[in-house]
Amino acid sequence: MLKIQDYRPQPFIDFTQPENVQAYEAALKKVRAELLGKHYPMVIDGERVDTEEKLTSLNPCDTSEVVGTTARATIQDAERALQGAWKAFETWKTWEMDARARILLKAAAILKRRHLEACALMSIEVGKNYAEADVEVAEAIDFLEYYARSAMKYSGFGSSETTWFEGEENGLMSLPLGVGVSISPWNFPCAIFLGMLAAPIVVGNCVIAKPAEDAGLIAGFIADIMYEAGLPAGVLQFLPGVGKDVGEYLTTHARTRFITFTGSRAVGLHINEVAARVQPGQKWIKKVVLELGGKDGMIVDETADLDVAITAAVQGAFGFNGQKCSAMSRLIVVDAVYDDVVNGFVERAGKLKMGTGEENANVTAVVNGMSFDKIKGYLEIAPQEGKVLLGGEAPGECNGKQGYYVQATIVGDVKRDARLAQEEIFGPVISVIRAKDWADALAIANSTEYGLTGGVCSRDRDRLEQARREFEVGNLYFNRKITGAIVGVQPFGGYNMSGTDSKAGGPDYLANFMQLKTVTERW
Ligand code: NAP
Ligand code: MG
């Protein structure tokens, strides 16, 4: 067993302290000097392998700048990675649980030392401001610390409870599944990328990790920390590549035992479908863990502390430009306080400053051209679907820098079934929906196929209790913002089309990557 203190989440950095801002600026300089323009090859069976074709990662806040490049894996590379991982599995599965957990703890220690570097790299690569980058790196460290400890409960024979039966020994063993593929999104390219590979690995699986194209550098940086911490060759195959080719190949493959995916609903459902089709020679039913999109709503009723509600709305809506699966994209306000809430929301959001992640702006550029165009499409229909109360433009430049800049936008009086109220926009575009009363507000909140996060700002106990039972989401928050789940504190995962409710950072998350065996010995 590990001899360590109980899990405690990482504290966040206080950027009101000038010395913390200076330290961040120093890290930005260091990263610009040492990591900018860097190339990350693949890592297969412990060897760095390169490809002819490369993937380029751009700075979304200044698209004239190339942040760096990664290899672009081919189908042959994916095949090699898969076969190599199965070889590595033969040994890795026999390691003691605590020995595997120590590698995660060591990685956490390294990442703690390089915390600000990881932050700075994300500011440049995906446009996170200081606080957004800090909470993400803290989350990444938390995943390592938390999963290392969680693994202990699955260690050894009989670790799960069974009932005593006279004349026999009975017990449940937890065994790893084998080799899986982990496919991650660009919006939490450090924490989700790391959490989704560390969890299966700590309980004895081997993983092929395919990062998102837009965030290959931070993924390479994180993978290197896992190798530095001592992961044996082949346990983690780092495979930067294109989802539509190597992602598709691996999720379809007969020898893929499990898939862990975080990303959009469309890609997730497609993976679910291809993974369900049995391939020639396939011996198992693939296990698929999906964490998908959201259309997250927060209700404000007439009993709410409106100041609390408005703060929660601004934070939940515009943190990282609304590019979070948990972001508040629908603000549902009961008629009695609609004007007060909306006026306050527009006024506060109007103060947000646009700029780069490196400048620590509140609203930075969205991640890429496709995202920018998609959001622009929603801005075009916004005047038909409601009243544009703030923003509404996608200037595509800020302070002389060309980038994917979209204004913080609030659209009022959007109908509950409008496209703006139903489709995931994944940008700083918020729909405000007017509800007749509390019952109507709850009905509106549930009138989506998604079910990731949700919130209620109210001082009415009965309503909060009703929401506890009936608000159909995996993560529900009262009287605070609906983003910012902390590992171990708020296990995270959605209902309905938002995913398979696997609850990352929760007490049973590792069970997703294990199979149980009941063994009986008659004395
Ligand atoms: P995405 O477009 O679905 O991409 C996610 C990953 O899937 C990327 O690595 C992508 O590779 C890969 N991919 C694309 N097509 C594939 C295919 N046919 N087979 C296998 N893999 C494929 O999502 P995203 O734009 O990166 O991320 C934003 C989405 O993620 C939003 O919908 C957001 O709500 C969701 N999200 C959910 C959670 C959660 O916990 N529920 C957390 C974060 C984000 P390429 O980069 O090469 O295209
Ligand atoms: Mg980029």
Q: How far, in Å, from the CA of 191 to the mean position of ligand 1?
A: 14
Which residue type, as a one-letter code, is found at position 278? V
Q: How far, in Å, from the CA of 261 to the mean position of ligand 1?
A: 8
- Best residue among 183, 196, 272, 422 to mutate for probing ligand 1, ranked by most atoms within 8 Å of CB: 183
β-bridge mates for residue 215, sequence order: none
Q: Which residues line ligand 1 (CB under 6 A)?
A: 183-188, 192, 210, 212-213, 242-244, 247-248, 251, 262-264, 267, 270-271, 291-294, 325, 424, 426, 452, 494, 498-499
Enumerate domains of the chain plus CATH numbers: 39-292+501-522 (3.40.605.10), 296-486 (3.40.309.10)
Contact 376, 392 (CB under 8 A): no
Q: How far, in Å, from the CA of 267 to the mean position of ligand 1?
A: 7
pLDDT for position 160: 76
Q: How far, in Å, from the CA of 323 to the mean position of ligand 2?
A: 14
Q: Give nearest CA residue, ligand 1 atom 20.
A: 247
Q: Give nearest CA residue, ligand 1 atom 18.
A: 244
Q: What is the DSSP secondary-structure string of 37-61?
A: TEEE-EEETTEEE--SSEEEEEETT
Please identify, by atom number, the ligand 1 atom nearest to the C-alpha of residue 492: 40
Q: Give nearest CA residue, ligand 1 atom 35.
A: 263
What gap in Å lies between CA 493 and CA 292, rounded to an integer?
Answer: 9
What 8-state DSSP symbol labels residue 460? -
β-bridge mates for residue 262, sequence order: 291
Q: Is 119 a catalytic residue?
A: no
What gap in Å lies between CA 307 and CA 69, rounded to an integer?
Answer: 45
Give the CA count within 13 Å in the CB-facing half-sphere of 244. Answer: 1
Strands (E), 38-139: 38-40, 42-44, 47-49, 54-59, 62-71
Strands (E), 405-488: 409-412, 429-435, 450-451, 453-457, 475-478
Q: Which ligand is nearest to the CA of 187?
A: 1
Which residue type, as a one-letter code, is found at position 354? M
Q: In a structure prediction context, what are the per-residue pLDDT tens digits for the chain, which is 523 residues long?
A: 889 999 999 999 999 999 999 999 999 999 999 999 999 999 999 999 999 999 999 999 999 999 999 999 999 999 999 999 999 999 999 999 999 999 999 999 999 999 999 999 999 999 999 999 999 999 999 999 999 999 999 998 877 788 999 999 999 999 999 999 999 999 999 999 999 999 999 999 999 999 999 999 999 999 999 999 999 999 999 999 999 999 999 999 999 999 999 999 999 999 999 999 999 999 999 999 999 999 999 999 999 999 999 999 999 999 999 999 999 999 999 999 999 999 999 999 999 999 999 999 999 999 999 999 999 999 999 999 999 999 999 999 999 999 999 999 999 999 999 999 999 999 999 999 999 999 999 999 999 999 999 999 999 999 999 999 999 999 999 999 999 999 999 999 999 999 999 999 999 999 999 999 999 999 9
Q: Give nearest CA residue, ligand 1 atom 45.
A: 243
Q: Is 457 a catalytic residue?
A: no
Q: Comparing C-alpha atoms, which of 203, 176, 193, 207 is closest to residue 82?
A: 207
Q: Which ligand is nearest to the CA of 59?
A: 2
Helix axes 216-228, 191-202, angle to 10 degrees: 40
Contact 420, 431 (CB under 8 A): yes
pLDDT for position 460: 98
Q: Give nearest CA residue, ligand 1 atom 22.
A: 243
Q: How far, in Å, from the CA of 70 to the mean position of ligand 2?
A: 12
Of the candidates 325, 398, 424, 457, the residue annotated as catalytic is: 325
Q: How far, in Å, from the CA of 265 to the mean position of ligand 1?
A: 8
pLDDT for position 158: 77
| Beta carbons within 10 angstroms of residue 289's beta carbon | 24
- Best residue among 295, 325, 371, 452 to mutate for probing ligand 1, ranked by most atoms within 8 Å of CB: 325
Residues 113, 116, 121, 126, CA torsion sign: positive
What gap in Å lies between CA 285 and CA 252, rounded to an integer?
Answer: 12
β-bridge mates for residue 478, sequence order: 456
- Best residue among 264, 423, 490 to mutate for probing ligand 1, ranked by most atoms within 8 Å of CB: 264
Q: Give nearest CA residue, ligand 1 atom 11.
A: 243
Q: Give nearest CA residue, ligand 1 atom 14.
A: 243
Helix axes 115-125, 18-34, angle to 10 degrees: 70
